Structure 1
Amino acid sequence: MRCALGIDLGTGSTKAVLLDEAGDLIGRGQAEYPLHKPHPGWVEQDPEDWWQGLCASARQAIADIDPAQVACVGLSGQINGAVFVDSAGQPLQRVPIWLDHRSQAECDWAEQRAGDLLRERTLMRLGPVNTLAKVLWVKDHATDVYKQSRWMLLPKDWLRYRLTGQIAAEVSDASTTAAFDLHERQWSGEILEALEVDVGLFPSLADSPEVVGAITQEAAEQTGLAKGTPVVAGGGDMPCMILGAGVIEPGIISLGIGTAAHATAFAETLDPRAFDKLWPMCHPIPGKYAWLGCSFTGGASLKWFKEEFGGSYEELTEAAAAVPVGAEGLFFMPWLEGRATPRPDAHARGGFVGLSLGHTKGHLVRAVLEGVVFDLRHSLDCFAEIGLPIDELRIGEGGSHSEVWRQIQADILGRDVVRIATDDLSAVGAALLAGVGGELYADFATACQRTVKLAETVRCDPERVEYYRRAFDRYRALYPALQDWYDPSSQ
């Protein structure tokens, strides 16, 4: 028996999945690690915590097999971190991750200096979420780190270095950084030079399924993997999640509510009409693209509510189910760390609107569940605006585990949705890259056909669809009404 191991570096934990040639899951592992928030707007992690998490989760996943049966390893990782390392590959500081928003001033400077170039080459406006913004911040505020750095690596690329001893970057992950030319599928020397960033910090690029190294003796001793096991370049967590959900052709849309909430679509080409609305990225399938719509703190909004006000997820969703559709006029804006789609705004913040003495804890929870999905509906509207077909909606991650949240998704989106039975989609996508790169599967179509398992279809209710259509008109008026209020210059 030959297997493919996929390892996903998430925001809160590392997850590993082991797939056999039939596409069945035969091993799983997980290890958690903390976030560090030393100042407002700063969100960091210790890369050594990532490495320990990888080692622990890999050992769990392969515990019941001979390590020599692992034909290939693939990595997925949280996008838009910035790991500054010296010539020995040692990190020089804790890593600002995608949630870190300290760099708005650098983004404003970059927009003035290279805004047109960023729009032309990346189809996005630079925001604090992007890796390039973090590089600019380090250059300006941590000059010793910047000067001592030999490489700037993305999170999963640093982990791959720890596994193989080889420095490399990878196309799908790089494509979200704002330092990447989406048309040429290479780092953008023009952008980096315009912003006075050292082009030499950015390693050479490989396609996602390309084998770029092999497990070293040291890594074998710590992970339990066999020395010499091939390792593919891998992908960013969102591109790998797209692959793990089987979004490999036009018309299939994947939605998920994890820490963030997202909607993703396959594309053959880029479309400049999506500028400042959706995030473009390179699909893990070489030569293809994908679009991402996002709400930064989708599932994190419910987690925040749970931690601050108490109750288990089951208790909270049961309370929400007992409340009328629409939470009796209560709305929630899930912008706890800024707004994403369709108009990114790092200054926007969440809140409840319409709160009355008659509202209960259950109303608050239902408003949170509905607000997250209202925010996701923006993404489907953006897909339609650029002519992307929407034939099938697939829902996954934590938000699909709740019956009430599944139904809310179908009703607010106004379409039947199909639940993805497969969990840990980013790790699964990484395993599929390993399976194709290691020749376990003949191609991506075969890999997805064997691996992606679909469950029940959730039917939308016409009466609730019509109610939510009217409610969404009110919801989408909230940000324009508050936009100036969020502006720091008005405070």
Structure 2
Amino acid sequence: MTEYMLGIDIGTTSTKAVLFTTKGEVVGQTNVGYPLHTPNRSTAEQDPEEIFHAVLETIRLLTKQYPNQKPKFVAFSSAMHSLIAIDEDDQPLTACITWADSRSEAWSNRIKEEYGNDVYHRTGTPIHPMSPLAKIFWLVEDRPEIAERTKKYIGIKEFVFQRLFGRYVIDHSLASATGLFNIHDMKWDSKALEIAGIDASKLSEPVSTTTQYSDINPEYAKQIGLDPATPFMIGASDGVLSNLGVNAIRKGEIAITIGTSGAIRTIIDRPQTDEKGRTFCYALTEKHWVIGGPVNNGGMVLRWIRDELASAEVETAKRLGIDPYAVLTKIAERVRPGSDGLLFHPYLSGERAPLWNPDVSGSFFGLTLSHKKEHMIRAALEGVIYNLYTVFLALIECMDGPVTRIQATGGFARSEVWRQMMADIFESEVVIPESFESSCLGACILGLYATGEVDSFEVAAEMIGETHRHVPNEEAMHEYRQLLPIFISLARTLSADHRRIAEYQRSLIQQEN
């Protein structure tokens, strides 16, 4: 008899639900989107109620479509670093402040100046405005009218679980991405709490990523079409689960994800930080840890190109019933590797790894009259991969052995052009699983592990299905070898000028307000 499992991924632009068999075969999937509100360069917020209802709706749509394939459990994945202030009545006092929000920049700078990397080495989270540590410090210091009314500071998955189960809990994986959690003793870190200006009562209870709950609010159970006794696995963060979902779990195996943002990660068996503070260290389970580096600018760069530079192409795609992104990547294919010397720094929303600089901004470099729109599109795609490669260079410094395999996934994997570009820039074979929903599959594999149905993550190898392999092209590698040093040098050289232009842009925001 076939059994089923349901993976939910609460992402930055949408929530996805995927129904799998327990063998990893995809039965069906749904996706409900929601906006990211970015009124200026510093703000990136969402409506937590909207996201909660998207979670309910994705499940409802699947259970309605597949009424006879009831899942034996529901397992969760979620984006990291979000923050919502909650009042005494369990209602949000703020929007969901996402990882991309940089309004706490001044406060993260203060933490760096006063405490250096000490907090990072205890918590595994680099000091940056993405961090809930910096966000809470900002709210306590700058928005006392909110801080005084706040009962809890939570992330979006905590918000969902509180609505469904009436309790404030956070899995160790998401806790280890807050900058407030000691990854060595698996408790809220007293020094980080002191810096933030709060005590542990303001945060949720940390629990293992394998923790399950089966007492969902009956009204919500009825609404989403599930038996109230169905176990809900709290799961982990989208990043660490993506490693599971692409079968990058052994020593030396690297997982690269490009969705709205992006990341490079590898699994190790104990907590580890970087002397230069460039990489993160997050929990997967008590025996599995993930180190790597996140980038702000992944698929959102292509979305910006689509919205701001390619209105005519988008209109044509609509008339023909074609995905606009497929049209854009096809246009990029007309241009040879290296975009005829046009470089694009993809820092449209600041950057985390490897620069950890919220002030850095995007730019085209090498632009001449001979360059056309297709060059700009290809350069933007190449820029995202160049930047990920610089994170890769930092990661391999932290590894105690060679890279044995690169597995890649995320929305970018739908584009053959972009996949080949990665193989050429990384000068390595890149393996792409057939299923792009690695975080949902990873959540379900963790669910099988939590229920004792499997005793190791090795089962992932049998579940990812067919893979595509991209081998680097010698001519393309030759071009990229010449351009990569220029890309890296420019990002460092322009640091002071990035700060000056960011200060100017912030002054415009203040004038408008």
Identity of aligned residues (%): 27
- Counterpart amino acid of residue 99 in structure 2: W
Question: Counterpart of 2:79?
Answer: 78
- Counterpart amino acid of residue 138 in structure 1: L
Question: Counterpart of 1:286?
Answer: 286
Bigger mean CA deviation after superposition, 444-453 or 412-421: 444-453
Is 1:435 aligned to 2:436, yes or no? no
Q: Report the Cα distance in structure 2 between the residues aligned to 1:88 and 1:147, rounded to whole angstroms.
A: 14
Deviations 1:126-161 (A, max 9, x none): 111111111112212332322222221121121122
Question: Counterpart of 1:233?
Answer: 234
Contact 1:234 1:430 (C-alpha < 8 Å) held by counterparts: yes
- Deviation above 6 Å: which 4+ runs of structure 1? none
Q: Report the Cα distance in structure 1 between the residues aligned to 2:437 and 2:125, rounded to whole angstroms.
A: 28
Q: Report the Cα distance in structure 2 between the residues aligned to 1:125 and 1:446, rounded to whole angstroms.
A: 30
- Counterpart amino acid of residue 325 in structure 2: Y
Q: Report the Cα distance in structure 1 between the residues aligned to 2:496 and 2:488, rounded to whole angstroms.
A: 15
- Which of 411, 414, 418 in structure 1 is aligned with 2:424? 411
Question: Counterpart of 1:396?
Answer: 409
Is 1:421 aligned to 2:422, yes or no? no
Compared CA separation, residues 168 and 271, structure 1 to 2 (3 A):
closer
Deviations 1:371-416 (A, max 9, x none): 1111011122112212353111111112111111111100000001
Shift of 1:39: 4.4
3-state SS, counterpart of residue 363 of structure 1 = helix
Q: Report the Cα distance in structure 2 between the residues aligned to 1:340 and 1:194, rounded to whole angstroms.
A: 21
3-state SS, counterpart of residue 239 of structure 1 = helix
Q: Report the Cα distance in structure 2 between the residues aligned to 1:64 and 1:272, rounded to whole angstroms.
A: 45
Question: Counterpart of 2:25?
Answer: 24
Q: Report the Cα distance in structure 2 between the residues aligned to 1:458 and 1:475, rounded to whole angstroms.
A: 24
Question: Counterpart of 2:319?
Answer: none
Deviations 1:83-123 (A, max 9, x none): 22234432222111111111111112222343343133124
Bigger mean CA deviation after superposition, 111-120 or 195-204: 111-120
Question: Counterpart of 2:511?
Answer: none
Question: Counterpart of 2:320?
Answer: none
3-state SS, counterpart of residue 63 of structure 1 = helix
Question: Counterpart of 2:38?
Answer: 37
Unmatched 5+ stretches in structure 2: 314-323, 505-513
Q: Report the Cα distance in structure 2 between the residues aligned to 1:350 and 1:444, rounded to whole angstroms.
A: 43
3-state SS, counterpart of residue 461 of structure 2 = helix
- Counterpart amino acid of residue 334 in structure 2: A
1:242-253 to structure 2, matched below 5 A, reads 242-253=243-254
- Counterpart amino acid of residue 291 in structure 1: I
- Counterpart amino acid of residue 192 in structure 2: I
1:48-447 to structure 2, matched below 5 A, reads 48-66=49-67, 69-273=70-274, 275-283=276-284, 285-310=285-310, 311=313, 312-388=324-400, 389-439=402-452, 441-445=453-457, 447=459
* TM-score for the superposition, normalised by structure 2: 0.91
Question: Counterpart of 1:480?
Answer: 492
Q: CA RMSD in A?
A: 2.0
Bigger mean CA deviation after superposition, 70-79 or 268-277: 268-277
- Counterpart amino acid of residue 294 in structure 2: C
Q: Report the Cα distance in structure 2 between the residues aligned to 1:185 and 1:445, rounded to whole angstroms.
A: 22
Deviations 1:257-300 (A, max 9, x none): 211122111112344435421122112x3322112223211211
Compared CA separation, residues 91 and 438, structure 1 to 2 (3 A):
farther
3-state SS, counterpart of residue 273 of structure 1 = coil
3-state SS, counterpart of residue 233 of structure 1 = strand
Q: Report the Cα distance in structure 1 between the residues aligned to 2:327 and 2:21, rounded to whole angstroms.
A: 37
3-state SS, counterpart of residue 282 of structure 2 = strand
3-state SS, counterpart of residue 291 of structure 2 = strand
Contact 1:27 1:62 (C-alpha < 8 Å) held by counterparts: no
3-state SS, counterpart of residue 19 of structure 2 = strand
Q: Report the Cα distance in structure 1 between the residues aligned to 2:175 and 2:461, rounded to whole angstroms.
A: 27
Q: Report the Cα distance in structure 1 between the residues aligned to 2:214 and 2:177, rounded to whole angstroms.
A: 23
Q: Report the Cα distance in structure 2 between the residues aligned to 1:124 and 1:60, rounded to whole angstroms.
A: 36
Compared CA separation, residues 173 and 490, structure 1 to 2 (3 A):
closer
Bigger mean CA deviation after superposition, 81-90 or 401-410: 81-90
Q: Report the Cα distance in structure 1 between the residues aligned to 2:381 and 2:40, rounded to whole angstroms.
A: 29
Shift of 1:330: 0.4
Contact 2:347 2:361 (C-alpha < 8 Å) held by counterparts: yes
Q: Report the Cα distance in structure 2 between the residues aligned to 1:277 and 1:430, rounded to whole angstroms.
A: 27
